[in-house]
Amino acid sequence: MEQCPVILLADRSISSVDEIASSLIDGLSDLVEFLPTDENDLSKANLAIAIGGDGTLINHGPMLAERGIPLVGVNSGKLGFLAKFDAESLIKQREAIFSDSPPTLEAMMLEVTVDKEESTIAMNEAMIAAGNPFRILELGLSINGVPAPLLHGDGIILSTPIGSTAHNASVGGPIVDPSANAFVLTPVAAHSLAIRPIVLDSMAQVTVDILQANEGTSLVIDGKVHSGLKEGMQVHVQRSEHTLSIVLNPSSTYWNTLVDKLHWAAPPG
């Protein structure tokens, strides 16, 4: 059988990375050809294995999506919600994973543009955050060109389905099936009892007008400050043309992960 060419990506700040990488190289050598690690030359890779926490996968995901390379996540962090494997389970499932048609999820992502600048891909979410001195923001929303009510609060989160279990869930947004063709608009600390999160069709186009901002108001994409936002600026969000193929673990499901890692519906105790 011809070996599958794979690039190994890792968060070198994690102490266990070298040990995990060594075990994968030993356990997969019969099926996998590990390519030299050069993120600038992925042309020969059929798959990428990322070792680390969810942040590692989010860091590499947009780059891999643009190049059409499926991602295998190997967790070395605490939660590992996006990383579907540990080293042992990946080696155990290697026949299914390193085949011509591994089980995958096509994860939609968002394209985010400030005014008319170059767009950026968000794998999990794009957030408009109030920032210092933390006065209430005033944001004008429009969906598909139709004005929506003004929003007063600490900001908003626009989340992909796979990002719905992250910051979106922590501020009361809904958890969305990762295969759904939708994304979520969730207000943060809205100054109204009538404001609720909205689940939008994946083809919706959202424009946010910054009507009142703070000195530190920012656009945060996947946990990193992307740019400062000032009054008069616009943020445009729509579905990206790119999707990320996330390789799934045949022995586990999304719903298992919700129960095991987010303790879905667990009783108090």
Give me the active site residues, please.
54
- Cα–Cα nearest to 97, from 258, 237, 252: 252
Give Cα 208 distance to the centre of its chain. 21
Q: Where are the alpha helices (DSSP H) in 47-113?
A: 54-67, 87-92, 94-97
- Cα–Cα nearest to 98, from 222, 218, 2: 2
Give Cα 133 distance to the centre of its chain. 28
Residue 138 region, left (φ>0) first, then alpha (ψ -120 to 50), else beta?
beta
Distances (CA, A) of 251 to 209, 247, 261: 45, 12, 15
Q: What distance in Å separates the CA atoms of residue 81 and residue 194, rounded to the nearest whole number?
A: 32
Residue 91 burial by Cβ neighbours in a 10 Å radius (0-12, 13-18, 19+): middle
Question: Could you tell me the maximum CA-CA distance found in the chain, to the nearest angstrom?
Answer: 62
